[in-house]
Chains A and B, each alone.
Chain A
């Protein structure tokens, strides 16, 4: 009896000794897949590539972060892909509002964001309502009046029907009674081209995407989708200031892991992205693209997502969408 206890105890001791630090020190051992739901060149794609690049540039991780594009059905394809990698410690995704929205409005979107492994919320993104520089619409009010006069004639370009572009449109149509069309384009490049070519009259676009076009005198911003005016656009009113009392629709971006990701791995990625958020390159990116870069940790992200989902559900109901979950 005594003879078999010794190795057993030794083995136990070894196990506890090796398990402790090994777990606490999760490190990715192969390329991390960084899933985005947009096509290449979309805002989300550029954002994720920026993160991946800072990680590589500053050697913050021992492996590469490969951006994987899974466009299709808003976030549905990307979320489905992430869930199909359940338990994988090397699959993370860049989530936005649409990851919360899709499951609320469509039957096929069965994969919900808070069932995955939230890691961090990185930014809240304001947006600009822009028209062509030579457009007759100098204010959002003028656009709405024109839309009232010609119901269904004016057009916005944007992404999927559950995107912020469409949510804001729905809310504005609700409070004003005006009506105009929403044209879906799969990539950010095509949306920009549609406005530049004059095939639509207006679009809602990230300041990062619109900034260069405004600087070159191609676009004019007439309102901003934000709680308060952005530092770079002090003379542009927010939608509320423009006289349209609709709830603000913040666009958030953050990082989520595959479902069933170990707590150690979540902690690793949380710490990694916190480090990213402290780099000069990231701070410059936040400033250049006019974002709100408050870092929200994993422990707070999940309750935030749950409460924000409620907010979105209310917005959707006001917007007249059919909420199924």
Chain B
């Protein structure tokens, strides 16, 4: 079946009234899951799996996939409004999204997030439709040295996330790298830095850390500053609640960047949506004409990561549907769902179960439209939340933060961690240490260490394996270039300007 007739067949499946209904249900649930921190798509799909047994496999996968990509739409809401990442893939959105909210542009930020999600999500599906088999082969080219180089490239972005002091940014990054090494080492099965706490054997969850150093720390810093005037301005009028034409125009490149970066990284089984959103943000800032605006409410800083995490959904389905390889927790559950319905996920899925494959792909085109329609009208409603006085808003933020951290794995221990990281974040804010590099180090450090050790085992300790392939060599060179950026040219002037402005 060629692509065109396949897609046509897919739409004939996806447009059946029952399947349209399940697509809507999935998208709606996904949005809700995305908005609620701590409740992730993986847990929700596991929860709803028994309900799908009576369904046709095509309907079932259409609904479950709706939850999967729908959650990424909703994830930005609490990031922007409350500085609490709703999903791991929305951590980066906090940086500029919440800054926009502080500038009274919460509505436009939410609108841009929804539009970026729609554009990049759709591009991701188009790429999934036309490129799935060749792209899957590309993903298989990625071996440990390539993953190592990719993570290095990601870590080099610290330069762009650091703010005025590069040294402070690097220190923050190092702290993140250390935190990620806590737990049990895969290679030797020995524990590291657990300080006698068995709860630390499995390491820490980065949503807990992000909520702590972002949301809790900000609430504490605001209370400490004592200024009631810090109440967020929410201008009246619909025009101020939707993104302006200038803002959308500024995001042109971010839409493209988010789409491609998200899809390419999404295809790789060893990299998650959080990584793609970080890298898209970094690329956006590196190529921006006004990098100094990032971190202070640049709309591109919302569009790029939000686009990337949605394009990532399309990418992540490539290895799942063409090779039977799940890239992460959520796709793994979808894989076992397919098995339980009697569909055999693997290299033969596309030819043996065209209803499932093409029906799912077609439903995602519809789902993205559904999600845009679901999310855009909610923007003005959600933006009103910020009208609340701080003595009501702050307790709400703290409450959601606590529930979110607890919800990650249902351990009281995580609440303790949350408080600890809240304090750490507060101290960092006070001493003007940037917190995003810490999260960056934590997210990428683990995967980077693993990839390095796998590479060196493969080559018996020969470091040249890291630059032997053209993909890894290119990425490592790029990483070095980014690291050297601050020493040269326009970029440095921009940084100096930021320092002069006290940013």
Q: Are A189 and B332 in contact (CB under 8 A)?
A: yes
A50 contacts partner chain B, Cβ-Cβ < 8 Å: yes
User: Looking across the interface, which residue of chain B has its beta carbon closest to that of A281?
Assistant: B340
Residues of B close to A70: CB separation below 8 A = 202
Let me know if B189 and A161 touch, CB within 8 A. yes
In the complex where A76-B184, A190-B269 touch, is A53 in contact with B324 (Cβ < 8 A)? no
- Of B189, B194, B331, B346, which contacts A106 at CB under 8 A? B189
Chain B min CB distance to A18 (Å): 31
Chain A 182-212 interface 0/1 with B at a Cβ cutoff of 8 Å (1 = within) = 1111110110111011111000000000001
Answer whether residue B424 sits at the interface, using C-beta atoms and an 8 A cutoff: no
A56 at the binding interface (Cβ < 8 Å) = yes
Partner of B345, one of A56, A73, A187, A212: A212
Shortest beta-carbon distance from A185 to chain B in Å: 7
Residues of A within 8 A of B49 (CB): 53, 56
**How many Å lie between the Cα of A153 and that of B460 in the bound state?**
8
Contact A40 B332 (CB under 8 A): yes
B270 within 8 A of A: yes
> Which DSSP category, helix, strand, loop or mixed, fits chain A's interface?
mixed
Given A56-B49, A57-B50, A73-B201: A215 touches B189 (CB 8 Å cut-off): no
* Known A161-B189, A183-B144, A212-B348; contact A193-B47, beta-carbon cutoff 8 A: no
Q: Determine which of A39, A69, A108 lies in contact with B190 in the assembled complex, contact meaning CB atoms within 8 Å.
A: A108
- The verdict on A199 contacting B143 (CB below 8 Å), with A40-B332, A67-B46 known, is yes
- State whether A73 touches B186 (Cβ < 8 A): yes
Query: Quick check: which of B2-10, B134-142, B303-311 contacts chain A, the rest being far away?
Result: B134-142
Which of B42, B323, B331 counts the most chain A CB atoms within 10 A? B323
Contact A72 B202 (CB under 8 A): yes
Decide yes or no whether B20 CB sits under 8 A from chain A: no
Complexed CA–CA distance, A192 and B327 (Å): 11
Minimum CB–CB distance from A183 to chain B (whole Å) comes to 5
Binds B, one of A6-14, A80-88, A118-126, A231-239: A80-88
A270 contacts partner chain B, Cβ-Cβ < 8 Å: no
Chain B 185-206, CB-CB to A under 8 Å as 1, else 0, gives: 1111111001000110111000
Instruction: Please name all residues of chain A whose beta carbon is closer than 8 Å to the beta carbon of B339 when the two chains form the complex.
Output: 46, 50
Q: Do the beta carbons of A193 and B183 come within 8 Å of each other?
A: no
Q: Which residues of A contact B53 (CB under 8 A)?
A: 53, 57
Name the B residues within 8 Å of A183 (CB-CB): 144, 454, 457-458
Q: Are A189 and B325 in contact (CB under 8 A)?
A: yes
Shortest Cβ distance from B460 into A: residue? A152
Shortest Cβ gap from B457 to chain A (Å): 5
B333 CB within 8 Å of chain A:
yes
Give the CA-CA distance A64 to B48 in the complex, in Å.
Answer: 11
Q: Tell me whether A155 is interfacial, beta carbon within 8 Å.
A: yes
Given contacts A155-B458, A197-B140, A212-B347, contact A105 B189 (CB under 8 A): yes
Bound form: Cα–Cα A311–B190 in Å: 23
Q: Which of A28-59 contact B (CB under 8 A)?
A: 39-41, 45-46, 49-50, 53, 56-57
Q: Is B46 in contact with A77, judged by CB distance below 8 angstroms?
A: no
Is A73 touching B185 in the complex (CB atoms < 8 A)? Answer: yes
List the B residue with the shortest CB-CB distance to A37.
B202
The answer to the question of A260 belonging to the interface, with a C-beta cut-off of 8 Å to chain B, is: no
Say whether A192 contacts B457, CB under 8 Å. no
A218 to B143, CA, bound (A): 18
Chain B residues, CB < 8 A from A77: 183-184, 201-203
Closest residue of chain A to B320 (Cβ to Cβ) is A189
A197 to B146, CA, bound (A): 12
Contact for B199 among A66, A69, A84, A108, CB less than 8 A: A84
Residues of A within 8 A of B190 (CB): 73, 106-108
Given known pairs A81-B202, A108-B201, the reply for A184 and B187 (CB within 8 Å) is yes
With A108-B190, A161-B189 in contact, is A41–B326 under 8 Å at CB? yes
Q: Report B41-74 CB contacts with A as 1/0, cut-off 8 Å.
A: 0110011011001000000000000000000000
Interface presence of A165 (CB below 8 A): no
Counting CB contacts under 8 A, is B296 at the interface? no
Task: Flag if B332 contacts A218 (CB, 8 Å).
Answer: no
Which A residues touch B319, using CB under 8 A? 189, 193
B420 within 8 A of A: no
CB-CB under 8 A from B183, the residues of chain A are 72-73, 77
Instruction: Let me know if A139 is at the binding interface, CB within 8 A.
Output: no
Residue of B nearest to A198 (CB): B140
- Residue B222 lies at the interface, judged by CB distance under 8 Å to chain A: no
Question: Do A197 and B186 touch across chains, with their CB atoms under 8 A apart?
Answer: no
Interface residues of A, count at CB 8 A: 61
Whether A216 and B348, one on each chain, are in contact in the complex, defined by CB atoms closer than 8 angstroms, is yes
How far, in Å, is B85 (CB) from chain A's closest CB? 20
Partner of A41, one of B143, B335, B344: B335
Give every chain A residue within 8 A of B198 (Cβ-Cβ): 80-81, 83-84
Contact assessment for A64 and B47 in the assembled complex, using a CB-CB cutoff below 8 Å: yes
Query: CB-CB < 8 A to B139: which residues of A?
Result: 193, 197
A288→B307 CA distance, assembly (Å): 41
Distance in angstroms from A287 CB to nearest chain B CB is: 13
CB pair A192 B325 closer than 8 Å:
yes
Expressed in whole angstroms, the Cα–Cα distance for A84 and B348 within the complex equals 43
In the complex, the answer to whether A194 meets B143 with C-beta atoms within 8 Å is yes
| A160: B residues at CB distance < 8 A | 186-187, 189
Measured CB to CB, the nearest residue on chain B to A186 is B186
Instruction: Tell me the minimal C-beta distance from B178 to chain A in angstroms.
Output: 17
B50 touches A102 (CB 8 A): no
Q: Give every chain B residue within 8 A of A216 (Cβ-Cβ).
A: 346-348
* Interface status of A71 (Cβ within 8 A of chain B): yes
Contact with B along A104-138 (1 / 0, CB 8 A): 01111100000000000000000000000000000
A45 to B42, CA, bound (A): 13
What is the bound-complex CA distance between A108 and B458, given in angstroms?
27
B329 touching A212 by the CB < 8 A rule?
no
Query: Is the CB of B450 closer than 8 A to any CB of chain A?
Result: yes
Q: Is B409 an interface residue (CB 8 A)?
A: yes
Cα distance A162–B187 in the bound complex, in angstroms: 9
User: Among the listed A45, A72, A152, A197, which residue makes an inter-chain contact with B201, where contact means beta carbons less than 8 Å apart?
Assistant: A72
- In Å, the complex CA distance between A160 and B460 comes to 18
Most chain A CB within a 10 A radius of its CB, from B201, B331, B340: B201
Structural contact, A76 and B50, CB atoms closer than 8 A:
no
Minimum Cβ distance to chain B for residue A65 (Å): 10
State in angstroms the CA–CA spacing of A84 and B198 once bound together.
Answer: 8
Enumerate chain A residues within 8 angstroms of B144, measured Cβ to Cβ. Answer: 183, 199
Task: Give A186 to B451 CA distance when docked, in angstroms.
Answer: 11
Besides A39-B332, A41-B335, A189-B327, 10 more A-B contacts (Cβ < 8 Å) are A40-B326, A49-B336, A56-B49, A68-B409, A69-B329, A109-B189, A181-B460, A184-B457, A189-B326, A194-B143
| 9 chain-A/chain-B pairs, Cβ below 8 angstroms | A41-B326, A66-B47, A68-B409, A73-B189, A81-B198, A83-B198, A181-B458, A189-B319, A199-B143
A interface vs B, CB < 8 Å? 39-41, 45-46, 49-50, 53, 56-57, 64, 66-74, 76-78, 80-81, 83-84, 102, 105-109, 152-153, 155, 160-162, 181-187, 189-190, 192-194, 196-200, 212-213, 215-216, 218
